[in-house]
Amino acid sequence: SQKIEQNSEALNIQEGKTATLTCNYTNYSPAYLQWYRQDPGRAPVFLLLIRENEKEKRKERLKVTFDTTLKQSLFHITASQPADSATYLCALGANFNKFYFGSGTKLNVKP
């Protein structure tokens, strides 16, 4: 069965540094990958989508890469701020009935 792995340990970084989160997957060939932000007790909020034929996508301080050979996506937040502290979820999809979320990685940005 398919498996999506995000680091379950929290990532702690200093304000101003670049945060890099990893999403690895096995037994799956997604057509696209999405990243969401989720604050405690709140719903996820969509951040970025990247398709299998795209290597990199950027939006303001966010950058996502997608390596279908390594079966991995990296999510970067540059010049991180305490307000970026949250749990970040990756989600992979091929079609409607093959869409899966990872369990998320908690990011703590310290001032």
Per the CB < 8 A criterion, the answer to whether 106 and 7 are in contact is no
Minimum distance, C-beta of residue 17 to other proteins, in the bound complex (Å): 26
Q: CA 101, CA 84: separation in Å to the nearest integer?
A: 20
| Coil vs helix vs strand at 8 | coil
- Chain positions 27 to 56 lying near other proteins, rule: CB under 8 A, are 31-32, 34, 41-46, 49, 51
Please identify which residue in 20, 57, 61, 93 interacts with other proteins, judged by CB under 8 A. 93
Per the CB < 8 A criterion, the answer to whether 35 and 64 are in contact is yes
Using CB under 8 A, list all residues that contact other proteins: 4, 6, 8, 31-32, 34, 41-46, 49, 51, 89, 91, 93, 95-97, 99-104
